[in-house]
Amino acid sequence: NIRAVTVTGNSALTAEQIVKSSGITTGRNILRVNSNAAKKSIEKIPMIKNADILLKFPSTVEIAVEECARAAYVKYMDKYICIDKNGKILEVLKTAENANLIIVTGVSPTEFIAGKSLVLKDADKLEALKSLLSEIEEAVYLPNAVKSIDFSDKNKITMVMDNEIIVNMGKNESLQYKM
């Protein structure tokens, strides 16, 4: 029987949230654990990128998770839509909880459901946003230096840096060279 269920790789979510989602409980026969069903259930959590279930005989189940990294908040009306660098919606909040994340303005989401990809009225802006977020993540000196990105005019994308310097990125062309 299972005596312990451990969780590794989590920081945004608690071990209890992940274990509860898995459906794995102590006292149950370890051979009756449906690892695939538990994995799929855990991966339905928007913050989870990947999950693995390891049976450690005789009585421990280890759940190893990889969480999505928060990249930015898309400000829309009175909401902050938290996304990763690929545009996956991780959560929808009333306030920007993490001051280190980039605030994105000038975009109009048409659909924003946690766990799904962000859908914008202008698909070109989404591609530009994903490209910029990837470039910012890869640039060693930039990850915490960008405060906001404004897409109001797609021919004049602007970034505000943490030192209040405004950077005009111009059009959504060759962004990797402009970084």
Residues with pLDDT less than 50, the chain:
none
Quote the pTM value.
Answer: 0.84
Specify the pLDDT at position 45. Answer: 95
Integer angstrom CA distances of residue 121 from 79, 139, 158: 17, 29, 19
Q: What is the pLDDT of residues 66-99, one digit of tens each?
A: 999 999 999 999 999 999 999 999 999 999 888 8
Specify the pLDDT at position 140. Answer: 64
Cα-flanking dihedrals φ and ψ of residue 46, to 5°?
A: -55, -35
Structure tokens at 47: 């913050």
